Amino acid sequence: RIGHCHCKDAVKKPDGKGYGWAAMGQGIIDWAGQFKALKRDGYHFAVSLETHWRGAGTPEESTRQSWAGMKKALQEAGAI
């Protein structure tokens, strides 16, 4: 059973060795698909945006951009 979901996105590093953080919705994770699956399976607990990505200059702007991507994925999944 899943009781909490931490959400962040990632991209492969240019050299192909490992991963780096990305704004939600800009990486390799299909978050709309993940949220659809959680909804389908009856998940009704928290989802938390993890703000590790700092590519937008300031922490505040990076968080705004990641929140916009997370909100879009939740909307696409019919979760909000």
Contacts of 31 (CB under 8 A, 6+ apart): 7, 9, 24, 25, 69, 70, 73, 77
Domain that holds residue 72: 4-76
Query: How confident is the model over 4-62, as pLDDT tens digits?
Result: 999 999 999 999 999 999 999 999 999 999 999 999 999 999 999 999 999 999 999 99
**What separation in angstroms does the CA of 61 have from each of 20, 46, 56, 57, 65?**
18, 23, 6, 7, 6
Domain count, the chain: 1
pLDDT value at residue 23: 98
For the question of whether the overall pTM of this predicted structure is more than 0.75, the answer is yes
**What separation in angstroms does the CA of 42 have from each of 1, 49, 61?**
10, 20, 33
pLDDT value at residue 6: 97
pLDDT value at residue 13: 95
